[in-house]
Amino acid sequence: MNNFYDASNVKHLRKLKELKPDTFRLYLDWNKEVFKEGALPAKTKQLMAVVAAEITQCPWCIEDHTKRAKDAGATEAELAEAAFVAMAMRAGGAFAHSCISFGVFEEHGHK
């Protein structure tokens, strides 16, 4: 497989559907339910999904949820703010996890 992220690879999801059709359908139905209007507006949920997709670096999810966010009324300005939230969260994870490095370093010196 030369390019893991090539859009044509989505065809391989058919294998999941073939092997576990009931579970496959349950996932699709559940996913649809998650993004319905609720306590959070659908637009907000889609922007949250864009942030999560950017953090997890899933190009297919970035594409899909960006389109869905736009369809739900998101603006470029909102998308830009969402991108900065993703950046802050990704950098924040490294920032917070640096505590582990310093803790290990400190413990290692006391052996």
pLDDT, tens digit only, all 111 positions of the chain: 678 788 788 888 999 999 999 999 999 999 999 999 999 999 999 999 999 999 999 999 999 999 999 999 999 999 999 999 999 999 999 999 999 999 999 999 765
In the chain, what are the domain boundaries? 1-34, 41-109
CATH 2.60.40.1930 fits 41-109, yes or no: no
93's CB contacts (< 8 A; 6+ apart) are none
40's CB contacts (< 8 A; 6+ apart) are 48
CB-side exposure of 93: number of CA atoms within 13 Å? 7
- pTM for the whole structure: 0.83
42's CB contacts (< 8 A; 6+ apart) are 35, 36, 72
How far is the C-alpha of 19 from the C-alpha of 34, rounded, in Å?
Answer: 24
